[in-house]
A and B are shown apart, each in its own frame.
Chain A
Amino acid sequence: MNRLSWLHAWLMLLPALAMLLAFTHIPTLTTVWHSLFFPERGGAPAEFAGLDNYRMMLDDTVFWQALSNNLWYALGTVPTSIALALAMALWVNSKISGRTALRLAYFTPTMLPMIAVANIWLFFYSPEIGLFNKVLALFGHPGINWLGDSDWALPSLMLMTVWKEAGFFMIFYLAALQSLSRDLYDAAALEGAGRWHTFRRLTWPLLMPTTLFVLVNAILNAFKLVDHLFILTKGGPNNASNLLLYYIYENAFSFFDSNYAATLTVVMLALLILLALLQFGVLERRIHYR
Chain B
Amino acid sequence: MMTRFNTWLSTSAAWLLGLLWILPLLYAFWAATHPAEYATRFDLFAPLTTEHFVTAWNQAPFMRYMLNTVIITGLILFFQLILCTLAGYALARMQFRGRGLVFALVLLQLMVMPEILIVENYRTLAGLDLIDTHIGVGLPYMASAFGIFLLRQTFKGVPQELEDAARLEGCSRLGVLWKVYVPLAKPTYLAYGLVSISHHWNNFLWPLVVTNTESSRPLTVGMAIFGAPESGVDWPVICAGTLIAIGPLLAVFLLFQRRFVQSFMHAGLK
Contact = CB atoms under 8 A, between A and B. Distances in A.
Interface of A: 5-6, 8-10, 12-13, 15-20, 22-25, 27-28, 30-31, 34, 84, 87-88, 91, 96-98, 101-109, 111-124, 129, 131, 134, 163, 166-167, 171-172, 174-176, 178-179, 195, 220, 223-224, 226-227, 230-231, 245, 248-249, 252-253, 258, 261-262, 265, 268-269, 272-273, 275-276
Contacts of B186: none
Given A13-B102, A265-B116, 4 more contacts: A87-B17, A112-B25, A176-B269, A249-B118
A97 B242 contact: no
A8 B94 contact: yes
A96 B120 contact: no
Contact of B95 (A5, A22, A87, A167): A5
B121 interface: yes
Closest 9 CB pairs of A and B: A19-B143, A27-B120, A175-B265, A16-B87, A105-B18, A113-B202, A9-B94, A23-B140, A91-B14
B202 A230 contact: no
B119 A117 contact: no
Nearest to A98: B15
B111 A276 contact: yes
Interface of B: 6, 10-11, 14-15, 17-22, 24-25, 27-28, 31, 39-40, 82-84, 86-87, 89-91, 94-97, 99, 102, 105-106, 108-109, 111-124, 139-140, 142-143, 145, 148, 173, 198, 201-202, 204-205, 208-209, 219-220, 223-224, 227-228, 235, 238-239, 241-242, 245-246, 249-250, 253-254, 257, 260-261, 264-266, 268-269
14 contacts: A5-B96, A8-B90, A17-B106, A88-B14, A98-B15, A102-B18, A113-B223, A120-B24, A231-B227, A252-B122, A258-B123, A261-B119, A275-B111, A276-B111
Contacts of B220: 113-116, 227
A113 B199 CA distance: 9
B106 A20 contact: yes
Nearest to A29: B120
A25 B266 CA distance: 29
B202 A91 contact: no
Contact of B89 (A10, A12, A129): A12
A100 B205 CA distance: 33
Contact of A230 (B115, B224, B253, B264): B224
Contacts of B82: 15
Contact of A171 (B87, B114, B209, B265): B265
Question: What secondary structure prevails in chain B residues at the interface with A?
Answer: helix
Contacts of A24: 108-109, 112, 114, 117, 140
B120 A120 contact: no
A39 to B, nearest CB: 12
Contacts of A101: 18
Contact of A116 (B114, B209, B242, B265): B242
A171 B96 contact: no
A24 B107 CA distance: 11
Contacts of B235: 123, 129
Given A23-B114, A23-B117, A129-B40, A91 B83 contact: no
Contacts of B84: 16
Given A120-B24, A175-B265, A6 B111 contact: no
B261 A107 contact: yes
B205 A227 contact: yes
B244 to A, nearest CB: 10
Contacts of B208: 230
Contacts of B90: 8-10, 12-13
A29 to B, nearest CB: 9
A272 B111 contact: yes
Most buried by A among B22, B201, B209, B239: B22
Contacts of B21: 105-106, 108-109, 163, 166-167
Contacts of B14: 87-88, 91, 96, 102
B192 to A, nearest CB: 14
A120 B246 CA distance: 12
B268 A97 contact: no
A101 B257 CA distance: 10
B83 A116 contact: no
Given A27-B117, A224-B113, A131 B40 contact: yes
Contacts of B124: 22-23, 27
Contact of A17 (B95, B105, B173, B219): B105
B261 A17 contact: no
